Amino acid sequence: MLASEYENLIDIWIKSSLPFKPEGRDSEENIKRQLKLKNNRFFVAEINERFAGAIIASHNGRKGWINRLAVLPEFRGKGIAASLIKKSEDFFLSSNVKIFACLIEDWNETSMIFFHNKDYVKHKDIIYYTKKLNPDI
């Protein structure tokens, strides 16, 4: 993905009902900064020169994180999400990262089923904490 394609990315997130924080982590400035990081990749799927899906893959050298997987509703069920996950996993493996993870909010049953079908294991024993300096980030 190119920095100039920011609006296309945001369009996918909004149309896929992903939470969007334009004043924080999802601001154009932050996305452009993240695009430059060597341990981050923004992968997109295009159909007829239009973004159909997107994913952010990032790692800390120990664990690879799949973030913000989204496919436009009209393109779901065509293997796009699976292809984006594969690209992310290949990126992790190219950095010798062999643990892949994602966080899914408890209301998102569709994503839970999808990742379960891709051999990801649900951990009921993990409690997730965050600290935000501002609720808009």
106 falls within a domain: yes
Whole-number pLDDT of residue 134? 80
Whole-number pLDDT of residue 20? 84
61 falls within a domain: yes
125 falls within a domain: no
Q: Which domain holds residue 73?
A: 3-117
Task: Give the strand order in the sheet containing 100-102.
Answer: 40-47, 50-59, 64-71, 100-102
Whole-number pLDDT of residue 137? 72
Residue ranges for the chain with pLDDT beneath 70: none
Residue 103: burial class (beta carbons within 10 Å; 0-12, 13-18, 19+): exposed
Whole-number pLDDT of residue 72? 96
Question: Of 32, 28, 29, 53, which is closest to residue 43 (Cα–Cα)?
Answer: 53
User: 101: part of which helix (H) or strand (E)?
Assistant: strand 100-102
Strand partners, 64: 59, 100
107 falls within a domain: yes
Which residue is listed with tokens 């649900």?
122
Whole-number pLDDT of residue 123? 94
CB 42 within 8 A of CB 1: yes
* Counted domains in the chain: 1
Query: Token pair for residue 132?
Result: 């935000």
18 falls within a domain: yes
99 falls within a domain: yes
The domain spanning residue 41 has which CATH number?
3.40.630.30
User: What's the predicted TM-score (pTM) here?
Assistant: 0.89
137 falls within a domain: no
128 falls within a domain: no
